Amino acid sequence: MKITDSIKYVGVNDHQVDLFEGQYKVPNGMSYNSYVILDEKVAVMDTVDAHFTDEWLGNLARVLDGRKPDYLVVQHMEPDHAANVANFMKAYPETTVVANAKTFVMIKNFFELDLEGRKLVVENGSSLSLGSHTLTFVFAPMVHWPEVMVTYESSEKVLFSADGFGKFGALDVEEDWDDESRRYFIGIVGKYGAQVQALLKKAAALDISIICPLHGPVLTENLGHYIGLYDTWSSYRPEEEGVVIAYTSVYGHTKKAVELLAEKLKANGAPKVVVYDLARDDMSAAVADAFRYSRLVLATITYNGSIYPFMNDFVTRLVEHNFQNRTVGLIENGSWAPTAARVIKKMMEGSKNIKWTDTTVTIMSAVKQENVEQIEAMAKELC
């Protein structure tokens, strides 16, 4: 794939993977992106996943067309990108590996690779000339590993953004960027909003025309849209007005309360109502939508003196990804000692700027008239 006359895409599509990082469903696969910059000196930007060594080296050889690469730039050491560093160095042993000090420690940890005389340790803000192209390295620690850096090429105004601006899905499948990038960002990078904000401030000083991420499509148009979404996501502001209801139910009574609440919310003019059965629906999609919308309702049964396992998993993920700045309502159900509301509030006590609804719905086994009235009151609060 041609990015510009001098920059070529040599990445691969993965339709074998079903769970990215062992937990995120990827029905349309993944892409592992790698790029080549052809100039007086040749630079290869990152490698790909270990399952695609031969395909990637074949792509690389076709683009090089007999030339030898001068540099391999390693921006991120996660194995879906860096698994082929050693294989690359076997194929092109005279190449200089370009990375920061933390990256070289990880290279040794992964490969026990001796790069003496074949490495260039870069500092934050340092540059490397390839001829007419100049690479400037910008450190981006904890976006989302400590060694991460991004690279800006000034002559063609290209930002090689590492995992930033990536998304789930292979490149040979058409799908909505916003939804799959949101799910990717919240699940993988979402904990590190402050670090992403710091990187966005650095990027604001650059004149960027093209963004080349390590996952997902190369971005060449309407860059303000993508950057704006990253700003919203990393600052934990609601993206849209709406209510997400996430629930667990064993015998249907809590589900009945959720269905009634959804009806009342719509009747009261809620702009969007999204319902997730946490035992059956994609957990990562539920988490992403909890960050997308302005209000959240958690509805669950008491279970072993705590909350149902799927709800426990969901709330844990919210807290670990810095869920904040939202209005949250609670529906609890218990046949003799309902504790779910107390447990959830305890779990979320460190979450910033959470406004709890005045109404908490407490069901004793089955929904009764008093619960209907509570649900009506909660719907009005949320609207």
Pairing of strands 119-121, 354-363: unpaired
Secondary structure of residue 49 in the 3-state scheme: coil
- Residue 323: what pLDDT? 97
Predicted confidence (pLDDT) at residue 107 exceeds the cutoff of 90: yes
Q: Please, is 179 exposed, middle or buried when counting C-beta atoms within 10 Å of its C-beta (0-12, 13-18, 19+)?
A: middle
- Residue 66: what pLDDT? 96
Secondary structure of residue 98 in the 3-state scheme: strand
Percentage of the chain modeled with pLDDT above 90: 98
First to last CA, the chain: 48
Categorize the per-residue pLDDT at 301 as very low, low, confident or very high, splitting at 50, 70 and 90: very high
Predicted confidence (pLDDT) at residue 112 exceeds the cutoff of 90: no
Q: What is the pLDDT of residues 7-61, one digit of tens each?
A: 999 999 999 999 999 999 999 999 999 999 999 999 999 999 999 999 999 999 9
Query: Can you tell me which residue has the tokens 């109502």?
Result: 273
- Residue 270: what pLDDT? 96
- Residue 192: what pLDDT? 94
Dist. CA 255–CA 204, nearest whole Å: 46
> pTM for this structure?
0.93
Secondary structure of residue 219 in the 3-state scheme: strand
Q: What is the DSSP string of 4-34?
A: SSSEEE--EEE-S-SEETTTEE-TT-EEE--
* Phi, then psi, of 202 in degrees rounded to 5: -65, -40
Average pLDDT of the chain, as a whole number: 96
Q: What is the pLDDT of residues 317-360, one digit of tens each?
A: 999 999 999 999 999 999 999 999 999 999 999 999 999 999 99
Secondary structure of residue 378 in the 3-state scheme: helix
Look up residue 290 and give its amino acid: A
Pairing of strands 42-45, 35-38: antiparallel
Q: What is the pLDDT of residues 59-91, one digit of tens each?
A: 999 999 999 999 999 999 999 999 999 999 999
- Residue 238: what pLDDT? 97
Categorize the per-residue pLDDT at 1 as very low, low, confident or very high, splitting at 50, 70 and 90: confident
For residue 27 the two structure tokens come to 């029905």
Q: What is the pLDDT of residues 233-277, one digit of tens each?
A: 999 999 999 999 999 999 999 999 999 999 999 999 999 999 999
Query: Can you tell me which residue has the tokens 């609670």?
Result: 330
- Residue 79: what pLDDT? 95
Closest by Cα among 102, 88, 101, 109 to 45: 88
Dist. CA 307–CA 300, nearest whole Å: 7
Taking residue 27's Cβ as centre, other Cβ atoms within 10 Å add up to 11
Closest by Cα among 114, 109, 106 to 89: 114
Secondary structure of residue 377 in the 3-state scheme: helix
Look up residue 318 and give its amino acid: L
Average pLDDT of the segment spanning 144-162: 97
